[in-house]
Structure 1
Amino acid sequence: MDFSNVPFLISVWILPVILAVTLHEAAHGWVAYRLGDRTAYMMGRVTFNPVKHVDPFGTLILPGLMLFLSGGKMMFGFAKPVPVDIRNTYNPRRDMVLIAAAGPASNIILAFLSAIAFYAVEFLPKDVDLWVAHNLANSIRINVILCVFNLIPLPPLDGGRIAVGILPRPLAMRVAALERYGMFILLGLIFLVPYVGDVVGLNLNVFWYLVGLPAEVITEFIVNVVGI
């Protein structure tokens, strides 16, 4: 990694990360509010103010570590989860699905908007256009990855909550019971399984197959649709 480029790399990654996670969490809160739950609204979380959503580790430290470890090629992060009391909604089982889906949906929308914004880059002053282009490209990547990652059907991720909402009740209860172990399972899949694979000489990069590969397909789709 060329450390002379660190300030530039940070400047073209940090804004897309903050915008992506802020919009993601604000979308959860806004949909919950519209469906009858005022919990996030009363706590000031139905807002696009990043300060309300930033998590010191997930929004700042983790992205920085990933940027360093990937040699400036990748950054990923998360914000403080928006509090939702599903009991306050009009139709808890249905509304849980809608609230959970709002986050990933907002990221896909932002990815499309970032792609469309590329058409304005050619009208910007020289040097500024390169910086903006990097921000927009990273915005597409981050938002698509955030969407796909959160749709993994494992609580406490959005995909897990969607699964609980649409599966038959007996199966939904089994999936819901995984929530207490969900983050440990994810960390194991992302870090432990690939490590074991390296030790035994196998490619067990589960994160790539679950998130990286689908994200590449979706990114290519967005780029082709927008025509950039």
Structure 2
Amino acid sequence: MRLIQMFQESPTQALIYILSIFLAMCIGLSFHECAHAWTAYKLGDPTAKNMGRMTLDPLKHIDLLGMLCFVLFGIGWAKPVMIGSRNLKNFRRDDVLISLAGPVTNLLLSFVFYGIYFFLQPALMFRAPVVLYILATIYSVNISLAIFNVLPIPPLDGFHVVTSLFVRKSYKVVEFLQRYGYWILLILLFTGVLGYILTPVVNWFTSLYYSFFSLFV
């Protein structure tokens, strides 16, 4: 396992990695879930707000298994935000908007933190490389969270989008995914397949951000 190998080679680097991932997770997941709750509230559903989920407090959002997967595999999930469908005027449309609010927020965060990383890099490269490492972890984790959550597998946001748009046309597929979604996610994590999906996408967004911010120097 990568984490064990890191501890064997450099305990200090392993601790920095864990702290960076944990910080990135707290920021990414808190904004992600708060965005779901805020969007639902604006669309007429106060359920998540009443449950205390319209907050940036990570303790309100963290799922223990999701947090463990984050530390071990670099990707994970939070407690899902509950939605009261009866409070929404147009459930299918609003469910799509609520579901996409989280991933879009993560992409915006990744953009902001990459900008901070980009402009601080010349000054901190030799003085405080750990700070740059933490910033890089935060922006890359947020990209990963955005892409991970649009996968059409329950309980991820992409599944809500797909079911809201196409549930009548593919009910058997939806039923299968609802039953085995968690197992599919765990298999993707443990086999490393998810990494093959996420890594090139993270690299593509990083290259895109670099091209954008390079326009200002």
Q: Smaller-chain TM-score range?
A: 0.7 to 0.9
Backbone CA RMSD of aligned residues: 2.3
Alpha-carbon shift at residue 63 of structure 1 (Å)? 2.7
Structure 1 counterpart of 2:161, one-letter code: I
Change (3 A) 1:4 1:155: closer
| 1:216 paired to 2:214 | no
Classify the secondary structure of the residue corresponding to 1:221: helix
Alpha-carbon shift at residue 151 of structure 1 (Å)? 0.8
Alpha-carbon shift at residue 136 of structure 1 (Å)? 1.1
Q: Matches of 2:31 and 2:89 in 1, distance apart?
A: 24
Q: Matches of 1:187 and 1:206 in 2, distance apart?
A: 10
Change (3 A) 1:212 1:123: closer
Alpha-carbon shift at residue 77 of structure 1 (Å)? 2.7
**What whole-Å deviation, never above 9, does each CA across 1:12-59 have from its counterpart, x for those lacking one?**
322112101111111111101111111100011001111211223322
Aligned counterpart, 1:17: 25
| 1:132 paired to 2:139 | no
Aligned counterpart, 1:226: 213
Alpha-carbon shift at residue 223 of structure 1 (Å)? 2.5
Alpha-carbon shift at residue 125 of structure 1 (Å)? 11
Aligned counterpart, 1:95: 94
Structure 1 counterpart of 2:16, one-letter code: F
Further displaced range: 90-99 or 153-162: 153-162
Structure 1 counterpart of 2:84, one-letter code: D
Change (3 A) 1:157 1:175: farther
- Tell me, which stretches of 5 or more residues in structure 2 are unaligned? 1-5
Classify the secondary structure of the residue corresponding to 1:103: helix
Structure 2 counterpart of 1:214, one-letter code: V
Q: Percent same amino acid among aligned pairs?
A: 35
Alignment of 1:105-144 (within 5 A): 105-118=104-117, 119-120=119-120, 127=127, 129-144=128-143
Aligned counterpart, 2:145: 146
Aligned counterpart, 1:56: 64
Q: Figure out how many residues of one structure are paired with residues of the other and give that number.
A: 205
Structure 2 counterpart of 1:65, one-letter code: L
2:174 paired residue among 168, 173, 176: 176
Q: TM-score if structure 1 supplies the norm length?
A: 0.80
Alpha-carbon shift at residue 170 of structure 1 (Å)? 2.1
Change (3 A) 1:63 1:186: closer
Alpha-carbon shift at residue 123 of structure 1 (Å)? 5.7
- Contact between 2:124 and 2:132, CA under 8 Å: does it hold in 1? no
Q: Matches of 1:170 and 1:218 in 2, distance apart?
A: 34
Change (3 A) 1:126 1:209: closer
Q: Matches of 1:90 and 1:108 in 2, distance apart?
A: 27
- Tell me, which stretches of 5 or more residues in structure 1 are unaligned? 67-74, 195-204
